[in-house]
Structure 1
């Protein structure tokens, strides 16, 4: 009897410690649709048959809606994945928008998505994803827009969900969709002086999502960051970003290491495509596998089974990653 109890205890412990396997895929966020060999290989290995592809942004310029950075396509962009059109809308574009403008915007976005899908022979399905950092001041009109886009397109409309929109759900409201994509990154601004990692600070994320299990929409997928950048600080404490830097880029005889992820430039010159002066500082922000696993383990306690969408598909970010 004792042996049976012991074996049961071992089985129980093993069951509790077993790592969940999550289906995964990627966001594709470049204006020119183009895949190199590494990106093609990684995408083929992704366990979910979708690729979330940004088609264009929408902003309001001079009082008129404008599509920005509309996609083009290179012949190298070949995939069997179903393309999920994703559109980013700036929050200011939703300010003081009229009912007529909501209808116009929904029809225009649906039309341009269809046009680009047909022009580039992209295999799209029944979903359109909208990405907008809506606020308490724009929520009502944004939600009306989501409903109108659903009516116009006849498709399932999904949207992204930022951390503050979970924490402050009473102010920002609950979007009228059946599925949301939780963006587990951008925990602070990279342009503010801080010792925290602005892409992902796990403690900040856990604080914002402490009540995630109470969020009314239960169909939640998870977007995780695999991108990196360098934050350049000049003599006036002004900042700019250089994409895709990693700590190995700090190994330069013209740099003086300040810490594992920071260095000070010792000689004027061109670095990473920009002219940087002596005395400028570089802080690299990248995400470790341990950080991602910490977030995944935390979320597993909060929400049902979820798919992971890594941001973003780029050979600079997918090399040497475990998916």
Structure 2
């Protein structure tokens, strides 16, 4: 009887452990640090103790490195989460860069991060995340930069990892970090004429990550999309994006439904802050819970333990979402 009870308890503990193996949190990708009621509510419920916060972007303009859209803070910003400073760097920043410039770039990024942490009294830990879509031509200099930043900051440096960088790892190289964040979105360009969801096409993702279990870096966290947008196509076939559109936004007497996700504009006018002409098409791309569960189930067979970071923390995307339920989902693939 005691053995049976012990086995039952062991099974229950194992089951709970399995369900909780995907803690989750968010990326914060706005220029001003401020949380409204819905955003704070969603963040407070998040089961991981971090908030991955974009501090600024880096680009190279006329041969000079420039920080772009550096964060400012609203005094209402308050969270118990530990801030992980995240910096986006354009790939062109590393084109034709010298060793001295790599050193200069690492030093100045570190100093600006530290300045913002102190200025806004942020609870930042011992990690800096770098987001860069590096290529085969820039990989060596980018990897050298990551090493320099770690040496200068005395912190752990992690980086993002895109799908093509996994699939073509022999060409793209393996970054010199102990932890990467796999970006499970942007599976195609929204500016192409396609019937696929450019934010996340699960079949494309699976093909790119078919050998993910062989990736040399074993500590892999997962970034999943929760954002949406509308793709506007004009008479010439040119496209533009309108952020945060959903299917509900397409309910308008001046719109003609073409498919479940696409409408044609019947009357010139201002729509979603843009002047759009009759005949323009709008295609909405958004993410369903089924898509997210499908990705999680697939990844469970590749990298059994990972934290989920949803992109991004915004009231438009977090209202009425049960992220805890999605993140705990377990099932057969």
Q: Does 1:74 align with 2:45?
A: no
Query: What displacement does 1:321 show?
Result: 1.0
Q: Does 1:45 align with 2:48?
A: no
2:29–2:312: 8 Å Cα contact kept in structure 1?
A: yes
Query: What displacement does 1:304 show?
Result: 2.9
* Secondary structure of the corresponding residue to residue 237 of structure 2: coil
Give deviations 1:187-214, integer Å, cap 9, x for gaps: 0000111000000000000000000000
Q: Distance in 2 between the 1:185 and 1:309 partners?
A: 12
Q: Flag as ranges the 4+ runs of structure 1 deviating above 6 A.
A: none
Give deviations 1:133-154, integer Å, cap 9, x for gaps: 0000000000000000000000
> What TM-score, normalized to structure 1?
0.94
In the other structure, the counterpart of 1:246 is: 246
Query: What displacement does 1:21 show?
Result: 4.6
The number of equivalent residue pairs is: 311
In the other structure, the counterpart of 2:174 is: 174
Q: Distance in 2 between the 1:78 and 1:111 partners?
A: 23
In the other structure, the counterpart of 1:141 is: 141
The equivalences for 1:156-167 within 5 A come to: 156-167=156-167
Q: Structure 1: give runs of 5+ residues left out of the alignment.
A: none
Q: Distance in 1 between the 2:271 and 2:209 partners?
A: 38
The equivalences for 1:1-323 within 5 A come to: 21-323=21-323
* Secondary structure of the corresponding residue to residue 102 of structure 2: helix
Give deviations 1:207-227, integer Å, cap 9, x for gaps: 000000000000000000000
Give deviations 1:6-41, integer Å, cap 9, x for gaps: xx9xx9xx97xx756510000000001110001001
- When the two chains are superposed, the root-mean-square deviation of aligned CA atoms in Å is 1.5
Q: Structure 2: give runs of 5+ residues left out of the alignment.
A: 324-333
